[in-house]
Amino acid sequence: MSEGDAARGGPEFRRRRELGAASARSLLLTVLGEFVLPAGEPVWTAAFLRALGLLGVEEKAVRQALARSAGEGWIEGERHGRRTAWRLTPSGERLLTDGTERIYGFGRPAGAWDGRWLIVLAGVPETSRRLRHLLRTRLAWSGLGNLAPGVWVSPHPGRRTEVREVLAEIGVADTSTLFTGRLGDLAEARHVAAQAWSLDDIALAYDDFLDAVGALAPADDPGTFAAHTRLVQEWRRFPFLDPGLPAELLPADWSGSQARALFHERHDTWRPVADRQWKAMAQA
């Protein structure tokens, strides 16, 4: 691997970029959550230019990502002469703290499943495409699968309160019904899981993650920073893609378990070096 490849995260990530390149804004969020949030200190624009430059993001795109994030209320800038220092807003801190908890808590082994499902009947008018999209996105983020039009399910009944809050925020709580029940025997439950979630697609995403991350071998501090940021960036997708089904509902050779182990192993190995590189860029 060349030095340039190492700095950008390596050629191993080329297949993922071809499938869908991470935007400058998305990479900025990863840097904010992974490095800025824990430090709690303002950061100069130049530090973001250096950091995202290692990931192949051009200066113009970095500045646009900062402006968009400020416009959405996640960060705020303070001018010091010709320079700008950026800090997280309270809403930005909440957003990133929630995201960090979801990312690092995702995939923990759960106890034996008791066979109960949370079932949500949520009707949205066909004419309200925006509302239907918002409902689908928010319920998917909460780990629910779409079993049929207007019918959502989760094998985690404990998420009932979270789902009620989502429905209330969207404005469809009064037209929705939630209840807990069983959906046949284990064979039927596996059939429901296969209908409600695209498990084959999720498995392919895990396989791609394993291939890409497993091949990375950064040779220096800048390369390790880039590889570590890419690692977290790639893993951020899975709490949204994977509903965290009980082991009883998953294939025996589920690659998600192997992917989670690799993520934490690489994260623990690369994090100290990535922190050192970030501090060097932030203080320069």
Give the pLDDT mean for 111-121.
Answer: 92
Q: Tell me, what's the pLDDT at 13?
A: 41
Answer with the residue of higher pLDDT: 274 or 98.
274
Q: Tell me, what's the pLDDT at 12?
A: 40
Strands 116-122, 151-154: pairing kind = antiparallel
pLDDT digits (tens, 9 = 90+) for 84-95: 999 999 999 999
Give the pLDDT band (50/70/90) at residue 131: confident
**Could you tell me what percentage of the chain is helix, strand and coil, using 3-state DSSP and rounding each to the nearest 5?**
60, 15, 25
Q: Tell me, what's the pLDDT at 269?
A: 97
Q: Tell me, what's the pLDDT at 284?
A: 66
Largest Cα–Cα distance in the chain? 68
Give the pLDDT mean for 138-147.
Answer: 91
Q: Does 8 have pLDDT greater than 60?
A: no
Instruction: Tell the residue number behind the tokens 């970095």, with chain if given.
Output: 62
Q: Does 37 have pLDDT greater than 60?
A: yes
Q: Does 282 have pLDDT greater than 60?
A: yes
CA angle at 60 for the pair 56 and 61, rounded to the nearest 5°: 55
Q: Tell me, what's the pLDDT at 21?
A: 53
CATH topology of domain 19-109+198-283: Arc Repressor Mutant, subunit A (1.10.10)
CA angle at 156 for the pair 155 and 160, rounded to the nearest 5°: 125
CA distance 19 to 180: 38
Tell me, yes or no, if the pTM score tops 0.85.
Answer: no
Give the pLDDT mean for 144-163.
Answer: 93
Give the pLDDT mean for 207-221.
Answer: 94
Answer for the pair 55, 88: CB distance below 8 angstroms, yes or no: no
For domain 116-182, give its CATH number from 3.40.50.2030, 3.30.70.240, 3.40.50.10800, 3.40.50.10470: 3.30.70.240
Q: Tell me, what's the pLDDT at 102?
A: 86
Q: Tell me, what's the pLDDT at 128?
A: 80
The ranges assigned to domains in the chain are 19-109+198-283, 116-182
Q: Does 1 have pLDDT greater than 50?
A: no
Give the pLDDT band (50/70/90) at residue 60: very high
